Structure 1
Amino acid sequence: MGMGNERRLLTLLVCLVLGTGLVAAVLGASRAVGPRPAQAARAGDTVDLRDVPPAPAEPPPGPDASAGTVTVDCGRNQEGHYNEDNLVVSPGLRSGAHHTHAYVGNLSTDAFSTDASLAAAATGCRGGDRSTYYWPVLRRPDRAGTQPHEHSAGHGNSGEILQEAAVTVEFRGNPVGKVVPMPPFLRAVTGDAVAATARTEADVRARWGCSGSPERTTARYPRCPAGDRLTRTLVFPSCWNGLDHDSANHRTHLAFPAANGVCPQGSFAVPQLRITLAYDVPPGAAVAVDSFPEQRHSPKTDHAMFVNAMTEAQMAALVDCLNQGRTCRT
């Protein structure tokens, strides 16, 4: 071997040694700092709620309206029911959500739940409603999580999970007509988990706000005055096609009514589910809703899911309350 070849071989060996050492150092540093922290909200994702105009008033109920309301008392997830599953969108797939969901209602819900297992499980709802209600958690990205479920999601979803200070599960009627019962084990989705990269915002439904100004809501993270709670309100579609308890895209069997409350032709008004979540967040503190990595915790991606596991008697009582215009609590 010539002197030139020996020098080239020696140079190659030195580079390999140095390169290996550099990779090891980088990997060691990555392990030392732990998983990638959650990203804080982008500047355009927040707004001072005082700069948000009041929402238009809802149309007054007509003479045939189902003007009642039913509040279902399911607590605020004191049981600590969290997982990374999504029974509605990814049934049978463990960690199929790629982010963490919080639950109220049915205490057994995970990716492998069935209609039969839901019907037989315990529930956190005082009146015995075994339905499952769930949504992505909200985090403080500036504070490290200490519980196992605060690290399990990955994909940039990390930080302290904010416990809901209050959860309101409410069903409303229809402003122009009576409602019919939901079918057993109806699946429902509201919101768009990929709204930040979607071509349209047609499926963006979540409304954020502050407890002291319920007439003002926004699709962005609100900056609330001191003493106000940050709120998330998720309203579900309430016009059923009369046939299916689910559909291939988990949306076409249910639709939203028009602004005046009229359902699309060929569909039937069912009780409208509205979930309102409230959080104690210090003024100026950053928050981030769990999301897919490419969605970068955009508040527009907020969403929620529901599976109706009420008994026929429970659903009939709910519908009667709405159609009779009463205010009920279960």
Structure 2
Amino acid sequence: MRRRYPRRLSPATTSTTTRLALVAVVLAASGVLTATFVSGGGRGTADAATSLSAFVAIERVRPNVARPPLDPKASTGRFTVDCGTNRTGKFSPDNPVAQPGVKNGAEHVHDFVGNLAITANSSDADLAASGTTCENGDRSSYFWPVVRIDRSVRSGGGDVRAALAATSGTVTCPAVRDRLPAVPVPARAAVDRRLAELDRLEAAADRRILGTRGVDVRLNNDVLQWLRVRRAATLTGLGDTIRAAGGQAPAGLVSLTDCDVSYDGIHASLHTTDTAAASAATPQVSCPSVRDRLPGVPRQALAEVDRALAELDRQVSEANQRLVTSRGEGGAGFVENAVLGPLRARRTAVLDRIAIAIGRDGPRPQGLDALARCSVDQGKGQPATPPASSASPLPEPQGPNLELPHNTGRILRPEAVVIEYRGNPVSKVVPMPRFLRELTGDAKPTSRGPANARAIWTCSGFGDRLSDKYPICPAGRQVQRVQDFPGCWDGRNTDSANHRDHVAFADRATGACPRGFTAIPQLRITVSYDIPRGVQLSGRYALDSFPEENHNPFSDHNDFVNVNSTRTMQRIAACLNSGRNCR
């Protein structure tokens, strides 16, 4: 189970002058970047490690971007969306695509643009009703790990590797109980048995992982695949059980199939002194779970209870959006008076409706009114209510820099974010379906293997080359992350058990989609940063990452949920197919 780990204070760090001098000596002596530093994150803590071997002068990267020849049927247009650079300050350690239902599951902070309400628990209906930062009304969610600049760097670095070698991983799975529709009376016992089976499967997988210290990629993949197959079967059976009893088909269960191996236990070796929290990433509303407190619901009340449960979800989503758009407003009582008070009143009314609906044809549930009061998690350590996952809570982002264990330093704001949909070099594209989920790259190439990781780093003016290392750019050029998403779709699914199999990348050489897949608008997100050249040379900018990745630039990734309207997506496809540039 996951635990919270305090931080340990460290000795003073070396000066900037000494750092730059050491870099010059290393470069002059060897011609390569080999010195290793441990970052203090600007707080005197041995949290972040940056190795200069993870940096490369972009001029030394050979051109490697393939541009397939264009077929006469090619869709050559380009559709650009302006969603800003996250000036609203929506940051979160949630990953709603790769880890739905797991609070703080990323263990690092993401920049979010577009959808304002999204959290790890957002339903499709919640996303569709949200506000957005995009100028054209696009409610899609686009998010990626933040980049930080460390104020201080000093020699060392073996502590992270040593801590990882002594750490056993733990298995964490998305919660299912609070994502279900109303459960009919005849299905209640069978559903409970299947939920208990999910718990047993996770515990069995966890025991296998706990038997090994350090990272064993083969074991991790074997265990997760074993667990994925069995969870998929159990979730399918769970849905079938509810439907057979007259209930609503559960939505999005496939997204809850995949589990993960976490190495957050590494923090126990690295951090021994607690640090006071000053502020959270974007605060979120935490409300008591309702679905798992309900008895079996009589058939006559199923539709009404389902509508009420969806309304409760929508209320929380609207409150979370209010927290984003009202940051800095009001005094000490603003959140209570403007967000939590009205939310409590609305929840009380809906909970009363649920009790009445069930009580007409069965025993009326007692005590639901106690579930009306919610809290706002202000990043003081523990969530206001237990997270919707089977694991104990991870630390909240802390302090003015929204720091997490091992991910410290000042967040660097992007200078520009370009979101564009592109065509296919050999065929026309069809509109992507609404609520399609996609990810690119892999946040865990160390613990899961590099098969899905992608080289994304470059400098402005060097678009013909991408690196799996942090680039050192010529003076006046920006550091860039160019992240291409899969541009082929299986034609049926908006997600898959591993969040990858329903989409695919086109062939790099030919541009053709794999057999059985159809070309859709391919999303490309380019994030640009103005980073002082001295910071680049001294290895003081780094990506937020999982602890075992140790800021590995090859662990960069990006996630996307398509919440464009059907009409807008049709307009995007038409633009690409006609070869135009559109906004």
Identity %: 46
Q: Does 1:212 align with 2:461?
A: yes
Partner of 1:49: 58
Partner of 1:275: 525
The answer (yes or no) to whether the contact 2:65–2:465 under 8 Å persists in 1 is: no
Matched with 2:495 is 246
Counterparts in 2 of 1:223 and 1:111: CA distance versus 1, 3 Å: same
Structure 1 counterpart of 2:99, one-letter code? S
More helix by share: 2
CA contact (8 A) 1:230 1:281 kept: yes
1:58-137 matches, within 5 Å, as 58-137=67-146
Matching residue of 1:292: 546
Aligned AA (2:439): V
41-50 vs 316-325, greater mean Cα deviation: 41-50
1:38, CA displacement in angstroms?
3.9
Offset at 1:212?
Answer: 2.9
Listed one character per residue, the Cα deviations across residues 103-151 of structure 1 (whole Å, up to 9, x for unaligned) are 1111111112111111111100000000000001011122699964363
Give the aligned residue type for 1:252.
Answer: D
CA distance in 1, matches of 2:10, 2:426: 59
CA distance in 1, matches of 2:441, 2:567: 29
Tell me: CA distance 1:206–1:81, structure 2 relative to 1, closer, same or farther (3 Å).
farther
Task: Work out whether residues 233 and 275 of structure 1, in 8 Å CA contact, stay in contact via their aligned partners in 2.
Answer: yes
One-letter amino acid of the counterpart of residue 139, structure 1? R
2: distance between equivalents of 1:308 and 1:83?
A: 19
Task: State the 1:89 CA deviation.
Answer: 1.6
Residue 10 of structure 2 contacts residue 46 of structure 2 at CA under 8 Å; is this kept in 1?
A: no
- Change in Cα spacing, 1:168 to 1:147, as seen in structure 2 (3 Å) is farther
What is the root-mean-square deviation in Å for CA atoms of aligned residues?
A: 2.3
Q: What secondary structure does 1:196 align onto?
A: helix
CA contact 2:487–2:521 (8 Å) conserved in 1: yes
Q: Could you tell me which residue of structure 2 aligns to residue 304 of structure 1?
A: 558
Superposed CA deviations along residues 77-113 of structure 1, whole A, max 9, x for unmatched, are 1111101111112212211111101011111111121
Structure 1 window deviating more from structure 2 (73-82 vs 27-36): it is 27-36
Residue of 420, 424, 427 corresponding to 1:174: 424
Cα drift, residue 275 of structure 1:
0.4
Quickly say closer, same or farther: Cα 1:98–1:53, change in 2 above 3 A.
same
Number of the residue aligned with 2:410: 160
Tell whether the 8 Å contact from 1:88 to 1:188 is kept in structure 2 after alignment: yes
Measured after TM superposition, the shift of residue 30 of structure 1 is 3.9
Alignment-derived partner of residue 439 in structure 2: 189
Among 515, 518, 537, the residue aligned to 1:265: 515
CA distance in structure 2 between the aligned counterparts of 1:37 and 1:272, rounded to whole angstroms: 40
Label 1:35 to 1:265 Cα distance change in 2 as closer, same or farther (>3 A): farther
- Where structure 1 has 5 or more consecutive residues not aligned to the other structure, the ranges are 1-26
Q: Distance in 2 between matches of 1:46 and 1:222?
A: 6
Cα distance in structure 1, aligned partners of 2:47 and 2:512: 41
Q: Distance in 2 between matches of 1:52 and 1:300?
A: 15
Q: What amino acid sits opposite 2:118 in the alignment?
A: T
Given that 1:239 and 1:254 are in contact with CA atoms closer than 8 Å, whether structure 2 keeps it comes out as yes
* Contact kept in structure 1, 2:455 and 2:466, CA below 8 Å: no
| CA deviation after TM superposition for structure 1 residue 170, in Å | 0.6
For 2:528, give the aligned amino acid: A
Residue 236 of structure 1 pairs with residue 520 of structure 2: no
With over 3 angstroms needed to count, the CA separation of the structure-2 counterparts of 1:188 and 1:35, relative to structure 1, is farther
- In 2: Cα distance, 1:127 partner to 1:206 partner: 30
1:59 positional shift: 1.8
SS at match of 2:446: coil
Q: Which amino acid counterpart does residue 502 of structure 2 have in structure 1?
A: H
CA distance in structure 2 between the aligned counterparts of 1:138 and 1:147, rounded to whole angstroms? 19
Give the SS at the match of 2:533. Answer: coil
Deviation at 1:216, TM superposition (A): 2.5
Q: Does the 8 Å contact 1:229/1:280 carry over to 2? A: yes
Distance 2:125 2:472 in 1: 43
**Pair 1:143–1:309, CA change in 2 (3 A):** farther
> For structure 1, which segment, 143-152 or 109-118, has the greater mean C-alpha deviation from structure 2 after superposition?
143-152
Q: Distance in 1 between matches of 2:523 and 2:7?
A: 49
Q: Is the 8 A contact 1:129 1:309 kept in 2?
A: yes
1:255 to 504, 518, 536: 504
**Residue identity opposite 1:179 in structure 2:** V
Separation in structure 1 between the aligned mates of residue 497 and residue 465 of structure 2, nearest angstrom: 35
Gaps of 5+ in 2: 1-5, 13-42, 154-276, 282-396
With normalisation by structure 1, the TM-score equals: 0.86
Say whether 1:203 aligns with 2:447. Answer: no
**Alpha-carbon contact 1:143-1:159 (below 8 Å) kept:** no
SS of aligned partner of 1:76: coil
Greater shift, 208-217 or 314-323, is seen at 208-217
**CA 1:146–1:207 in structure 2 vs 1: closer, same or farther (change >3 Å)?**
farther
Aligned letter for 2:131?
Answer: A
Task: Judge conservation of contact 2:440–2:558 (CA < 8 Å) in 1.
Answer: yes
1:287 is displaced (CA, Å) by 1.0
CA positional deviation for 1:217: 1.9
- Provide the rounded CA distance (Å) in 2 between the counterparts of 1:301 and 1:130: 27
Q: Following TM superposition, by how much is the alpha carbon of 1:43 offset from its aligned partner in structure 2, in angstroms?
A: 2.7
CA contact under 8 A between 1:141 and 1:287: conserved in structure 2? yes
SS of the residue 1:58 aligns to: coil
Evaluate the alpha carbon distance shift between residue 169 and residue 206 of structure 1 in structure 2; reply closer, same or farther with a 3 A threshold: farther
Residues 28, 225 of structure 1: CA spacing in aligned structure 2 closer, same or farther, 3 A cutoff? closer
The residue identity in structure 2 corresponding to 1:299 is P
Alignment partner of 1:313 is 2:313: no
CA contact (8 A) 2:7 2:405 kept: no
Change over 3 Å in CA distance of 1:257–1:77 after alignment to 2: same
